[in-house]
Amino acid sequence: MKRIGVLTSGGDAPGMNAAIRAVVRTAVYNKVEVYGIKRGFSGLLEEDIEPLNVYSVADIIHRGGTILRSSRSEYFKTDAGQKKAIQVLEEFNIDSLIVIGGDGSFKGARALSNKGVNTISLPGTIDNDIGCTDYSIGFDTALNTALDAIGKIRDTTSSHNRVNVVEVMGRDCGEIALFAGLAGGAESILVPERDYDLDAISDKLLRGKDRGKLHSIIVLAEGVGNFEDFCKKIEEKTGVSTRGTNLGYIQRGGSPTAFDRILASRMGYMAVNLLLDGKTNRVIGIRDNKYLDMDTNEALEIKKEFDMEAYRIADVLSI
């Protein structure tokens, strides 16, 4: 192997820095040079690249965001963009690339792999929407951020005898909503993977109110719709004072949890070792508590399975 490049791409996620640190330190330990590519594939095309060493990644394991920064590049998706990327990698003598991001980033890595670059991809997204892994880097932190906010919202919701609709991130995937809702004791959880029944949700709220319940929390994934519209619907149907909160980008930031730091450290370490073993076009994941790697084509074919059991449990427990 000549030289490793590392980049973060797509929406950032807490723990990406811990992954970069693990990649750099494992490479240095093995006497392999490593270069940081800034702003994802856009930075690659613009030659925004610099060498990294043990000191470049000091004091970052606990930091949110990504020191390499991130972007989404439309031009990179074209054949011309990918040819240009290959040219730049050759200029910098980089023959191996570690990509940290979501499935869009995996597709980018696969395209470069098909053009001869050794690539390893790590799942990094708060959405946890990647089928080949039970957990992606950043999900646990985002989940805990959402849970902390739900706890605070619950306090004021009880004081005022209200309903509060909490919108969390997740355009196509309800993982944050499902697990923040389950852990936060939400009365209803709305996810893009399942249709919802407004009458049933309203009846449940009114039943709870009749029993003397002081508050109701509804967790809504952004892919289902806007929280303000949903608040209006609930208030109209039930007559109960309803407020809403969009947690927004606070879910993407913050210091990573221990879980995310460990996941990122192990995956970053594994990525370099796979390259040292001559592997390419692989995605790393964790399934049933075991770390694994698989072919990128295979990984991209796997659809995230919706955890119906967790969804049912949350429903039963919020009777």
Taking CB under 6 A as the rule, does residue 125 contact ligand F6P? yes
Judged by beta carbon, residue 118 or residue 125, the one nearer ligand F6P is 125
Specify whether the CB–CB gap between 270 and 98 falls below 8 A: no
128 touching ligand F6P, by CB under 6 A: no
Of the listed 48, 59, 79, 127, which one is catalytic?
Answer: 127
Q: Is 8 annotated as a binding residue?
A: no
- Residue 243 dihedral angles phi and psi, to the nearest 5°: -120, 170
Among 124, 170, 174, 244, binds ligand F6P (CB under 6 A): 170
In sequence order, the β-bridge partners of residue 5 are: 35, 97
Pick one of 103, 127, 140, 167: the residue that binds ligand F6P (CB under 6 A): 127
Please give the residues from 5 up to 34 whose contact with ligand F6P meets the rule CB under 6 A: 11
- Give the residue with the Cβ less far from ligand F6P, 50 or 229: 229
Backbone angles phi, psi at 96, to 5 degrees: -135, 140
Q: Which residue is nearest to ligand F6P (CB)?
A: 11
**Is 194 annotated in some ligand binding site?**
no
Q: Is 22 annotated as a binding residue?
A: yes
CB of 135 to ligand F6P, least distance (A): 15
Q: Which CB, 8 or 280, lies closer to ligand F6P?
A: 8
- Residues in contact with ligand F6P, counted by CB under 6 A, come to a total of 9
How many residues in total does the chain contain?
319
| Closest CB 10 distance from ligand F6P, rounded Å | 7
Nearer to ligand F6P, 187 or 222 (CB): 222
Rounded to 5 degrees, φ, ψ at 35 are -115, 140
Q: Is 171 in the site for ligand F6P (CB under 6 A)?
A: yes
Write the burial class of residue 110 (CB in 10 Å: 0-12 exposed, 13-18 middle, 19+ buried): buried
Question: How far apart are alpha carbons 61 and 259 in whole angstroms?
Answer: 12
Residue 50: strand, helix, or coil: strand
Per the structure block, which two tokens stand in for 149? 């906010």
Residue 169, interface with ligand F6P (CB under 6 A)? yes
Can 79 be counted among the known catalytic residues? Answer: no
Contacts of 183 (CB under 8 A, 6+ apart): 143, 147
- Alpha-carbon distance of 78 to 75, in angstroms, equals 6
In DSSP notation, 291-306 reads EEEEEHHHHHHPPPPP
* Residues of the shown chain interacting with ligand F6P in the complex, contacts defined by CB under 6 A: 11, 125-127, 169-171, 222, 252
What positions carry a catalytic annotation? 127
